[in-house]
């Protein structure tokens, strides 16, 4: 039995002969040998020592997972489009130096490509740095865009909780110099819309008090004591009332910078009130984000509680979205250091997939993985040609149709296929129907059968599958 190495060797022989423009028959002889070896490769005689797996921290998506994934994406994309976003895409890898110095100690989690000559490359770690590189490179100072793509982190995977080494990010960002806090408020509105739309249960968008405090003490010149006093309030309340109270605090209102900072927060909460989502927003003392590039208020959306099928509380999935302001990042790429203020959000889609997959599994909901409207079938033998002719007509009319790849399939098997895959209609051709110029249309769910004139079939299928 031929092994792979031998096949490769034989393939090389063929290539050389072709290269050397050898006698056609000599080539043909060696090609025949190659084909023979290929045909036997993987035959029952030989066992292979392949490790049959995907790389650590990655997974395949089968048709069922893809159906769930596409549902989630379409909800997210619909929201991004509702907010007027354009869409861009960037390469999966960047020059290594593009990513250098953007991720702090997380940099050690970046995947590098092997040096095979030429440029040194790394897989993207997020979509934010490539976005900033794109803006600087194309001198774009003003854009609202989304980007949905996979990113790569050599992290410790915890796949049951949706933590992978290859995972999707769904990012929405607004770049440009605008009046304060309007784009920031829209980002929070988007998080709220998406999480509500996906019906993931209660959630809260938390702003980390620690960062706000540090900003007040560090940048705004507030005394640590004053900041901590504010912190006590914050832990208790967290919203518009609080900000109002703080602004009336004589110590704070005397400090111009602190007043400005609080003014921005007040503005943000005013806009969030207009959007009707302040109930979903709160400060949090425990939150801290690792990435170096954030410059202003950052936030994170967490699901409050996740109940499983038996009413018991299951492990909290935690953060499902995060974002913030990164006004300095684009300037790091611009040759003249020109800044483009940016604010954005990133939806942590893998955790959402995990939740929805578990939910579907628990509910025994039957998920269709195709959209086929009709199976073209026959009750008698020798009708393959008629089936192919009919299905060709249907395809050309835009009907989603399938046919079994057998010359003479049993009707029972054809109906069973519809049951298994959820195809709602069967178009049955038989000798009598052909004579009469009709097709028998069967509704799988009700077993109802009705003869339809062939020229009306397309319209009838559309009508019955609500595609008119």
Binding positions for L-histidine: 126-128, 153, 169, 173, 289, 293-294
Applying CB under 8 A, among 22, 48, 244, 316 the residue interacting with its own copies is: 48
Q: Closest separation between CB of residue 373 and its own copies, Å?
A: 9
Contact between 82 and its own copies per CB under 8 A? yes
Phi-psi region of 311 (alpha: psi -120 to 50; beta: other; left: phi over 0): left
What 8-state DSSP symbol labels residue 313? Answer: B
Nearest approach in angstroms of CB 370 to its own copies is 5
Q: Between residues 152 and 203, which has the closer beta carbon with respect to its own copies?
A: 152
Size of the site for its own copies (CB under 8 A): 147
CB of 85 to its own copies, least distance (A): 7
Tokens 């602190």, located at residue: 258
Among candidate residues 275, 244, 236, the one with its CA nearest the CA of residue 262: 244
Shortest Cβ distance from residue 314 to its own copies (Å)? Answer: 26
Q: Decide: helix, strand or coil at residue 172.
A: strand
Is residue 381 at the binding interface for its own copies, with CB under 8 A as the rule?
Answer: no
CB of 168 closer than 8 Å to CB of 126 = no
Structure tokens at 2: 């031929």
Q: What's the residue count for the chain?
A: 468
Of 190 and 306, nearer to its own copies (C-beta) is 190
Pick between residue 19 and residue 254 the one whose CB is nearest to its own copies.
Answer: 19
User: Which CB atom, from 149 or from 247, has the smaller least distance to its own copies?
Assistant: 149
In whole angstroms, the minimum distance from the beta carbon of 308 to its own copies comes to 26
| Range 201-240, binding its own copies (CB under 8 A) | 213-215, 217-219, 224, 227-228
In the complex with its own copies, the residue whose CB is nearer, 306 or 441, is 441
Q: Where are the beta strands (DSSP E) in 126-236?
A: 143-152, 166-175, 203-208
Cα angle value 161/167/171 (rounded, 5°): 110
Rounded to an integer, what distance in angstroms lies between the CA atom of residue 208 and that of residue 300?
8
81 contacts its own copies (rule: CB under 8 A): yes
How far apart CA 208 and CA 215 sit, in angstroms, is: 11
Classify the C-alpha dihedral 77-80-81-85 as positive or negative.
negative
Contact stretch for its own copies (CB under 8 A) within 240-248, 268-276, 307-315, 355-363: 268-276
Nearer to its own copies, 80 or 306 (CB): 80
Is residue 465 part of the contact set for its own copies (CB under 8 A)?
no
């Amino acid at each position: 039995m031929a092994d792979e190495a031998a096949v490769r060797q034989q393939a090389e022989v063929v290539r050389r002969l072709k290269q050397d423009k050898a006698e056609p028959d000599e080539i043909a002889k060696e090609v025949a040998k190659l084909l023979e070896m290929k045909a036997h490769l993987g035959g029952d005689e030989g066992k292979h020592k392949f490790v049959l797996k995907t790389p650590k921290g990655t997974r395949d998506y089968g048709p069922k997972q893809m159906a769930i994934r596409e549902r989630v994406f379409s909800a997210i994309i619909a929201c991004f489009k509702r907010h007027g976003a354009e869409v861009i895409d960037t390469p999966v890898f960047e020059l290594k130096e593009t990513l250098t110095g953007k991720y702090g100690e997380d940099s050690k989690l970046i995947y590098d490509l092997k040096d095979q000559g030429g440029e040194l490359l790394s897989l993207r770690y997020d979509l934010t740095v490539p976005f900033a590189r794109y803006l600087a490179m194309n001198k774009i100072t003003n854009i609202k865009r989304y980007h949905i793509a996979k990113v790569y982190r050599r992290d410790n995977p915890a796949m049951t909780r949706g933590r992978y080494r290859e995972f999707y990010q769904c990012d929405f960002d607004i770049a440009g110099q605008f009046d304060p806090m309007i784009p920031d408020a829209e980002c929070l509105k988007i998080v709220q819309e998406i999480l509500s739309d996906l019906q993931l249960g209660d959630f809260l968008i938390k702003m980390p008090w620690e960062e706000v405090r540090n900003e007040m003490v560090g940048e705004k010149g507030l005394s640590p004591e004053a900041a901590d006093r504010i912190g006590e309030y914050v832990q208790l309340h967290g919203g518009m009332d609080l900000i109002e109270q703080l602004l009336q605090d004589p110590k704070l209102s005397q400090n111009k910078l602190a007043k400005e900072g609080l003014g921005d927060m007040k503005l943000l909460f005013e806009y969030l009130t207009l959007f009707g989502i302040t109930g979903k927003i709160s400060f949090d003392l425990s939150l801290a984000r690792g990435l170096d590039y954030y410059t202003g208020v950052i936030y994170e959306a967490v699901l409050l509680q996740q109940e499983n099928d038996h009413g018991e509380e299951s492990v909290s999935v935690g953060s499902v979205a995060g974002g913030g302001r990164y006004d300095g990042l684009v300037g790091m790429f611009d040759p003249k250091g020109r800044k483009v203020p940016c604010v954005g959000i990133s939806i942590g889609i893998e955790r959402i997939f995990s939740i929805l997959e578990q939910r579907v599994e628990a509910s025994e909901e039957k998920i269709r993985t195709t959209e086929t409207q009709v199976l073209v079938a026959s009750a008698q033998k020798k009708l393959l040609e008629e089936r192919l002719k009919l299905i060709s007509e249907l395809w050309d009319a835009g009907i989603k149709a399938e046919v079994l790849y057998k010359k003479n399939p049993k009707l029972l098997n054809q109906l069973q296929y519809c049951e298994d895959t959820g195809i709602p209609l069967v178009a049955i051709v038989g000798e009598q129907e052909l004579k009469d110029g009709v097709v028998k249309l069967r509704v799988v769910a009700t077993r109802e059968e009705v003869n339809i004139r062939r020229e009306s079939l397309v319209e009838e299928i559309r009508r019955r599958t609500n595609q008119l």
